[in-house]
Structure 1
Amino acid sequence: MPERITSRENAKIKYACKLGQSAAFRAEENAFLAEGYKLCLELAKGCPLKVIYYTCRAQDKWPALQALPCEQYLVEDHVAEKLAGVESPQGVFGVFGRPAARFADLPRGGRFLALERVQDPGNVGALIRSAAAFDFDGVLLSPGCADPFAPKVLRASMGAAGRMPLVAAPNLADALAELASRGVLCLAAALENSLPLGEVDPACPGGVCLVIGSEGQGLSAAAMAACQKAVRIPITDRVESLNASVAGGVLLWHFRGAGR
C-alpha cells in the first residue's frame, strides 16, 4: 500500500511542484514533472519514472498504477490540486529523470528539426510530436525556446519528448554549420530568397535539418546564413502566414523519407 500524503506542505510535494514551475530547477535536478495517466505511461517508455503520485479516485480508475516499478504516494485531492495548479487535476503525477541527449550522438545522414526562439509551449510540443510521428532523429533547441520538459510542452507533445532526442544548442548557427559539414542539408523556413516546397527534392541522401524560427521574429541572420537554402510553403493570400507548428508539420511530412 503506498504511503499517503495529506499535507500540501509536504517536502516531496514542494519538490514536485518546483519541478513543474521552474526550468532552471528541472535542469539542475535533471528531472521533470508530468500530469496525466496516459502521458505518464507514454513518457515512462523513454524516461526513467522515479516517483508517482495519485489520488484514490485515480487508483480506483487505473489499478495498474500500483504495479509501476517506482516510489509511490497516495495524495489527497487538495494536494493533487497543488501539484496540478488547477482545480480539476487528472489525479496522476509522475516525476521522471530527464533523458540525456548530446549533439555528438546525433546520427550521420539523419533527419533533424531545429527550433530557434520558438517560445510558445504549444508550438514546441506539437513540433516535437510531429518530428516523432515522421521518424526524425532529433530536435535541436536554441536558447529562448520553451523548455521541452515544461508541463504545457509535455502535454502538447503527448509523450513524444520521452522518445525523441532533444538537444540544447547554445549556438544554433554553429550547430547547423557542423551538421552541414557532415553533409546534412540545412533548410531555413523563410519567405525571402526561398524556393517553393514543391521544388525541393525531399530525398536529401546526406540527411536534412529543417530550421524553424518564432512566428514573431523569424530566423536570425546567423541561422539563415548557416543554412544552404531557404524553403517556403505556398499558401493563398487569404492568410499572411501559417502557425509555426502547422508549417513545421508540413515540412516534416515532406521530408519524412530524407536520408533513408
Structure 2
Amino acid sequence: METITSRENAKIKYACRLREEEKLRTADGLFFAEGPKLCLELARGCTLQTLYATEKALAHTPELEAFAGKTVLVTEPVAQKLSGTKTSQDVFGVFEHPGWQAADILAKGRRILALEAVQDPGNVGTLLRSAAAFGFDGVLLSKGCAAPFAPKTLRASMGAAGRLPVAPVQDLPQALQQLRARGVVCLAAALYHSRPLDEAPQSYPDGLCAVIGSEGQGLTDAAVQACDMAVRIPMTALVESLNAGVAGSVLLWHFRGV
C-alpha cells in the first residue's frame, strides 16, 4: 500500500485544492470528503477514486478495508494538512462527481425541491438531507446556491447528494415553467400573498415541486410568479420567519406522502 509522509506531496496538494476550489471540482468532475462515516456513505452512490487514511483510522474503522485497492496511507501531519477542520478525522476521500443532469430531473422528477440563492452550505446540506429522508427524487439549484459537493455542504447533508439527483439550473423561473407544462404543481414558500400550508391541495397526481428562497431575501418575484401558488407555514406572532433549512424541511415533511 502506498504511503505518503510529505505534506508537500503533489497528490496531497491536489486533494487540498479540491477541498477548497469549486472551479477545480467542476472542471475535473471530482470532489473531496472528510470523515469515515461520510466517505462510507458517499461510496454507496459515488465512485471512490482515492481514499487517504492513517493507520489508526483504518484500524478503528474496519469497513474501510473494502477500499484497500484504492487506499493510500498518510501520516498524522499529512492528515492534518488534508483536514478542513481543527481536529482531523484521519480519513479523506476523492470521489467522482455523480454527474446528475437538470434535464433528467425536469423530465422525470415527480417530487422535486428547488432552491433559489440559498447561500449557506449548512442550509443547503440540511435541505438535501431532508429531501432524501422524505422521499423526494431530485433537487434543482439556482445560481447563487451553495455548491452541493463543497465540504461544508457535504457534512451537513451527510452525503445525500451522492444518492439524490442534484443539479444546477441557469434560469429557475424557466425551469419551474417547464415543470408546470407537464403538470407538476410548483409551490413557492413565501410570507406574503400566500395561503397557510394546510390549505394547499393534498393531491398532486402529476408531481409536486417545493420552491425555497434565500435566507435573507426569500424568493424573487419572478420565481413566485412562475409557481402555481405561494404557501406559508403557520406560526405564532412571536416569530416572523424560520431558517431556510428548517422551513424547507417542514415543507418537505408535509408533502412526504403525496
* TM bracket, shorter-chain basis: over 0.9
Q: Would you say the 8 A contact 1:203–1:255 is kept in 2?
A: no
Partner of 1:225: 225
Distance across 2 between alignment mates of 1:232 and 1:246: 13
Aligned-pair CA distance for 1:251: 0.4
Residue identity matched to 2:71: Q
TM-score (normalised: structure 1): 0.96
Aligned-pair CA distance for 1:37: 0.6
Q: Would you say the 8 A contact 1:176–1:227 is kept in 2?
A: yes
CA RMSD of superposed structures (Å): 1.2
Distance across 2 between alignment mates of 1:215 and 1:66: 41
TM-score (normalised: structure 2): 0.96
Aligned length: 257
Task: Give the gaps of 5 or more residues in structure 1.
Answer: none
Structure 1 segments, 4+ long, off by >2 Å, are 106-109
Partner of 1:244: 244
Q: Would you say the 8 A contact 2:119–2:215 is kept in 1?
A: no
Deviations 1:217-246 (A, max 9, x none): 111121111111000001001112111111
Partner of 1:64: 63
* Secondary structure class of the residue paired with 2:143: coil
| 2:180 matches 1:180 | yes
Distance across 1 between alignment mates of 2:148 and 2:236: 32
Distance across 2 between alignment mates of 1:113 and 1:74: 39
Aligned-pair CA distance for 1:109: 6.1
Distance across 1 between alignment mates of 2:69 and 2:202: 44
Partner of 1:216: 216
Distance across 2 between alignment mates of 1:69 and 1:225: 52
Q: Would you say the 8 A contact 2:6–2:78 is kept in 1?
A: yes
Task: Give the gaps of 5 or more residues in structure 2.
Answer: none
Distance across 2 between alignment mates of 1:5 and 1:109: 44
* Secondary structure class of the residue paired with 1:68: helix
Task: Give percent identity, aligned residues only.
Answer: 60
Point out the more displaced range, 83-92 or 33-42.
83-92
Partner of 1:192: 192
Deviations 1:64-99 (A, max 9, x none): 323316521110111111111334211000000001
Partner of 2:42: 43
Distance across 2 between alignment mates of 1:152 and 1:109: 26
Partner of 1:254: 254
Distance across 2 between alignment mates of 1:176 and 1:138: 13
Residue identity matched to 1:15: Y
